[in-house]
């Protein structure tokens, strides 16, 4: 066999081998992506994962309600303090009362920020695809009312 024929056969073999390798790699990648998709679905929608998500929603809803109730109690404190002084300006209040009012106000603002953050997390999670189970179906045994679909996300007053 001539030297040119051998080189020609080698080149032809390489050109036939490259598409075969490319097709094999493409099929392998597609198989990996499909497998990864099934694994993700299995992980996101397994009963234990669904229970964790549901419990997070229940805990977050209870925390939001607790924070709102605590904010109301602070507002009552503010009203009572202001009522006790009537029309007297705050600059003429007793020093201890002004300091206490400032402490309450600082705590109140921190609690509002905490509520806003938790409500934003709750609302964002409620609209995610993998949390959609919380929006449909029957209530679990022992539940009285469905989870709120959304909490007021920001308190600015």
Q: How does residue 105 score in pLDDT terms, banded at 50, 70 and 90?
A: very high
**pLDDT tens-place string over residues 11-53:** 777 777 778 878 888 888 878 888 888 887 787 778 888 888 8
* 16 vs 75: CA distance, rounded Å: 80
pLDDT at 153: 62
* 122 vs 135: CA distance, rounded Å: 13
Tokens of residue 72, six digits: 């109301």
Q: How does residue 9 score in pLDDT terms, banded at 50, 70 and 90?
A: confident
Higher pLDDT, 35 or 139: 35
The full DSSP string for 34-69 is HHHHHHHHHHHTSHHHHHHHHHHHHHHHHHHHHHHH
pLDDT at 131: 65
- Which residue has tokens 């996300």? 153
Q: Do residues 36 and 76 lie in contact, with contact meaning Cβ atoms separated by under 8 Å?
A: no
| Predicted TM-score (pTM) of this structure | 0.64
- Which residue has tokens 């990648």? 29
Tokens of residue 37, six digits: 């998709």
Q: Taking 80 as the threshold, does the pLDDT of residue 115 lie above it? A: yes
Higher pLDDT, 152 or 136: 152
């Amino acid at each position: 066999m001539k030297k040119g024929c051998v080189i020609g056969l080698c080149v032809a073999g390489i050109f036939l081998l490259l598409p075969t390798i490319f097709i094999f790699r493409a099929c392998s990648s597609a198989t990996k992506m499909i497998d990864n998709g099934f694994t993700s679905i299995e992980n996101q929608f397994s009963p234990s994962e669904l229970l964790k998500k549901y419990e997070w929603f229940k805990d977050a809803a209870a925390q939001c309600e607790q924070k709102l109730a605590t904010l109301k109690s602070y507002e009552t404190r503010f009203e009572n303090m202001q009522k006790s002084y009537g029309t007297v300006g705050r600059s003429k209040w007793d020093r201890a009362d002004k300091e206490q009012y400032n402490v309450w106000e600082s705590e109140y603002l921190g609690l509002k920020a905490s509520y806003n953050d938790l409500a934003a997390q709750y609302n964002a999670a409620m609209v995610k695809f993998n949390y959609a189970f919380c929006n449909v179906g029957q209530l679990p045994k022992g539940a009285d009312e469905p989870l709120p679909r959304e909490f007021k996300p920001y308190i600015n007053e």
